[in-house]
A and B are shown apart, each in its own frame.
Chain A
């Protein structure tokens, strides 16, 4: 998680207007979900991968590693869809008999599973593209421009800022506990973890108190107003992202017409 953040800051696409990146990623996400087609999803995945790796300069190994993260969940989910039980043996491509019924994989199940798998991978790649090229601060600025409620944005900003402080504190406490053999066996491990968690809560509470005092000292009046550096964009910059997505829509419509939604 912390790594993603670092890569976002060093991405070559960081200077690109965040709204453009958001438009691109969200449109592609929407098209991928709507089309429900394997080729379109694969294309989305490839486009996002290309943009992240070649345009953004994110190492290919990192991108693949991140794409592998959801795979384990996905495989379990997909398996439950692909494998069905039925009394009729004929609908299965292959099956085994068990408990007086047949368990196996049907063509329809296989097709659904493949659709789901690639749809999910395509969608995840869109989010990774955004996360690996756009720091949280920029994203929040865009959301603010899009009139997302202020309270939610302030919360997002504060949570993002203090996740790092919280992790650091947890890490320090953990180290201090381990160096006094707090995690020697399972029992002491659980005890230490309980202590760590409760301490973390108390620290967080104290920290929020201090933060409030510090904000008050700088004239806090209920809203975290800050000055944002505007990105200069021109509407022509949005032509490319929109065109790519229109092409995807076109492809999806063609596929639907000629293959009847099998692919």
Chain B
């Protein structure tokens, strides 16, 4: 099994108005893992994502899917978009149909499958995202979180290998955030999907992601698993980001209050483990 299902090599992208959004960006998306692309507003995350399934053609550099450079012909793009699905940040700009069922079927119908196969996939996608009860509802009567699920189902119905999500947690309440992230985790485990999320919601990264890239001004400035990335607080803060709250607390306890911990912690469970170890050490 190859390690990287998607690879980006030295990618440059310049918009027609002259804005340089990507300036020599290199990264790899690991197969079957959840990868986070962390970056502040305007770091170029959305541009990168639209380059991943060929909507944007890079000015320089290349994108590789399963080790082969993207084929920008009509056929090639079609095959690529079947395998790399994008869920956009605002579901209202993705859902075009007033019927939930019809919207979900759109991508699958475009793959020219038989009616039975489309129906099977749509039903499956609705089950996986837990929205079967919304089937007959009009799109405009759904809540924001429900629309988001419908948008995800619409991409899942194409049975992609890579699921790319732009700001999946933006605009959701705390409950909605944890539900969506758990859903993505479940999909990844069940279907063996490779999941890529762009986010600036820092606290979800140590909880749900396997690998992290930190982006700033069109480049990757930091990478590693969440633990490695967040053990470099200065670099993180340099690009207008911060540590997870728990990580910040542990840092303050260590630096200002003189606690001696044997490890770092970025989530509540990690913090408990470290603090328990500290307590045992004291006794």
Binding site for B on A (CB under 8 A): 5-6, 9, 135-137, 157-158, 160-161, 164-165, 207, 210-211, 213-221, 224-229
User: Are A210 and B96 in contact, CB atoms less than 8 angstroms apart?
Assistant: no
Selected from B107, B118, B139, the residue in CB contact (under 8 A) with A219 is B107
Tell me whether chain B's interface is mostly helix, strand or loop, or mixed. Answer: helix
- 20 more A-B residue pairs beyond the given contacts A161-B140, A218-B155, A219-B110, with a C-beta to C-beta distance below 8 A: A9-B136, A137-B97, A137-B102, A137-B138, A157-B96, A157-B97, A164-B140, A165-B92, A211-B96, A213-B88, A214-B86, A214-B88, A214-B96, A217-B55, A218-B154, A218-B158, A221-B110, A224-B97, A226-B97, A226-B102
Q: A41 vs B136: C-alpha distance in the bound complex, in angstroms?
A: 35
Cβ of B105: which chain A residues have Cβ within 8 Å of it? 226-227
Selected from B53, B139, B158, the residue in CB contact (under 8 A) with A161 is B139
- Report if A227-B108 is in contact (Cβ < 8 Å); known contacts: A213-B50, A219-B158: yes
Cβ of A160: which chain B residues have Cβ within 8 Å of it? 98
Cβ of B119: which chain A residues have Cβ within 8 Å of it? 227
User: Are A219 and B78 in contact, CB atoms less than 8 angstroms apart?
Assistant: yes
Selected from A6, A158, A227, the residue in CB contact (under 8 A) with B96 is A158
Q: A128 vs B187: C-alpha distance in the bound complex, in angstroms?
A: 45
Smallest CB separation, B53 vs chain A (Å): 6
Residue of A nearest to B137 (CB): A9
B109 beta carbon closer than 8 Å to chain A = yes
Q: A229 vs B101: C-alpha distance in the bound complex, in angstroms?
A: 8
B window 124-149: CB within 8 A of A: 136-141
Tell me whether chain A's interface is mostly helix, strand or loop, or mixed. Answer: helix
23 residue pairs A–B, Cβ–Cβ below 8 Å: A6-B141, A9-B137, A137-B97, A137-B98, A161-B98, A164-B140, A165-B140, A207-B92, A207-B93, A211-B93, A216-B55, A217-B53, A217-B55, A217-B88, A218-B107, A218-B154, A219-B158, A224-B97, A226-B99, A226-B102, A226-B106, A227-B118, A227-B119
Smallest CB separation, B16 vs chain A (Å): 13
B103 beta carbon closer than 8 Å to chain A = yes
B219 beta carbon closer than 8 Å to chain A = no
Binding site for A on B (CB under 8 A): 50, 53, 55, 78, 81-82, 85-86, 88, 90, 92-99, 101-103, 105-111, 115, 118-119, 122, 136-141, 154-155, 158
Smallest CB separation, A135 vs chain B (Å): 7
Cβ of A226: which chain B residues have Cβ within 8 Å of it? 97, 99, 102-103, 105-106, 109
> Inter-chain contact count A-B, CB under 8 Å?
96
Cβ of A6: which chain B residues have Cβ within 8 Å of it? 141
Residue of A nearest to B157 (CB): A218
User: Are B78 and A214 in contact, CB atoms less than 8 angstroms apart?
Assistant: no
Q: A7 vs B28: C-alpha distance in the bound complex, in angstroms?
A: 51
User: Are A219 and B82 in contact, CB atoms less than 8 angstroms apart?
Assistant: yes
Residue of B nearest to A215 (CB): B96
Q: A225 vs B105: C-alpha distance in the bound complex, in angstroms?
A: 8
Residue of A nearest to B90 (CB): A210
User: Are B97 and A161 in contact, CB atoms less than 8 angstroms apart?
Assistant: yes
Smallest CB separation, A185 vs chain B (Å): 34
User: Are A227 and B101 in contact, CB atoms less than 8 angstroms apart?
Assistant: yes
Q: A161 vs B99: C-alpha distance in the bound complex, in angstroms?
A: 9
Q: Which of A213, A218, A220 has the most C-beta atoms of chain B within 10 angstroms of its own C-beta?
A: A218
Q: A192 vs B122: C-alpha distance in the bound complex, in angstroms?
A: 45
- Report if A219-B111 is in contact (Cβ < 8 Å); known contacts: A137-B98, A137-B102, A226-B103: yes
Q: A5 vs B55: C-alpha distance in the bound complex, in angstroms?
A: 35
Q: A91 vs B38: C-alpha distance in the bound complex, in angstroms?
A: 86
Q: A229 vs B50: C-alpha distance in the bound complex, in angstroms?
A: 32
User: Are B99 and A137 in contact, CB atoms less than 8 angstroms apart?
Assistant: yes
Cβ of B102: which chain A residues have Cβ within 8 Å of it? 137, 226-228
Cβ of A229: which chain B residues have Cβ within 8 Å of it? 101
Q: A165 vs B97: C-alpha distance in the bound complex, in angstroms?
A: 12
Smallest CB separation, A239 vs chain B (Å): 28
User: Are A214 and B138 in contact, CB atoms less than 8 angstroms apart?
Assistant: no
Residue of A nearest to B111 (CB): A219
Cβ of A207: which chain B residues have Cβ within 8 Å of it? 92-93
Residue of B nearest to A228 (CB): B102
Smallest CB separation, B8 vs chain A (Å): 17
